[in-house]
Amino acid sequence: MDLGIRGKRALVCASSKGLGRGCAEALAAAGVDLVMNARGAEALDRAAREIRAAHGVAVTPVAGDITTEDGRAQVLEAAADVDILVTNAGGPPPGVWSDWDREDFIRALDANMLAPIALMTVLLPGMMERGWGRVVNITSQSVKAPIPQLGLSNAARTGLTGYVAGTARQVAEAGVTINNLLPGIHATDRADALDQGVAEREGITLEEARARREASIPARRYGTAEEFGAACAFLCSVHAGFVVGQNLLLDGGGTNFTI
Ligand code: NAP
């Protein structure tokens, strides 16, 4: 399917690896020029080179922490007039409700709620003026079904989800859509790190920890960054103009509910 977005420009945040990289790759395959971002310049430059070589699109890497005002200012200098925004950043650490104080919540809100909102606040007006735009926020399955030890993430991401639910309906008349993609378990560095933690705690191998988690997913496997990126590219395509304010769960059936 031709996604109809060849020649558009996209900012894909936190995209040197993992799900963000999957989104960058899929948009590039559809002919979209990219501004890519991550904190580590080396991996980011490598990813930018690889995507440029594979897809022949223009790729501008901007290293910086997207959860800080300085980082965002640098990124926005290169991405002021993009047609497509994919927001993403690392997730807050796990823990127990009684451990978290105000500062922990402020950090989580800054990273996973207020950073995407700040980017939308800057980029939505240009998209609306031009009469076309797409925003996809990478959130988590925990928005639909909370993961108890990820209380900081549950709180910040549901806050973003509430903001999107209202805002998406305010900008839709200008041809701009905002939607969220909710990853379940995907095979990325983050999933490896979580499995490694389980392996160490329980005295089992990484492979055993992973096999145990895969068995708990109806699809009996982890998702891939490629599948995730394809869903993102579809939401950014001309064909998804009537998809407004939705939360698309990509979890291999792991979240058990009817609707
Ligand atoms: P990942 O494989 O660890 O990749 C994270 C990417 O984001 C890297 O490119 C990293 O590069 C960049 N990054 C992290 N923090 C950043 C920041 N503050 N500013 C700019 N770039 C940043 O992670 P992932 O699995 O793709 O996860 C992406 C998001 O989805 C996370 O919020 C995660 O919590 C959420 N999620 C993932 C899963 C899963 O199974 N993978 C499931 C549910 C939710 P640098 O480190 O160089 O900055």
What is the band of 147 on the pLDDT scale with cuts at 50, 70, 90? very high
Residue range 212-228: mean pLDDT, rounded:
97
Ligand 1 pocket, Cβ-based, cut-off 6 angstroms: 14-20, 37-40, 43, 65-67, 88-91, 138, 140, 183, 185-186, 188-191
Listed by start position, the domains of the chain span 9-184+226-247, 186-222
> What tens digit of pLDDT does each residue of 3-43 get?
999 999 999 999 999 999 999 999 999 999 999 999 999 99
Mutation test residue for ligand 1: of 11, 36, 39, 142, the one with most atoms within 8 Å of CB: 39
> What tens digit of pLDDT does each residue of 39-57 get?
999 999 999 999 999 999 9
Q: Which superfamily does CATH assign the domain made up of 9-184+226-247 to?
A: NAD(P)-binding Rossmann-like Domain (3.40.50.720)
> What tens digit of pLDDT does each residue of 62-97 get?
999 999 999 999 999 999 999 999 999 999 998 999
CA of 163 to the centre of ligand 1 (A): 21
The rounded Cα 111 to chain-centroid distance in angstroms is 12
What is the band of 194 on the pLDDT scale with cuts at 50, 70, 90? confident
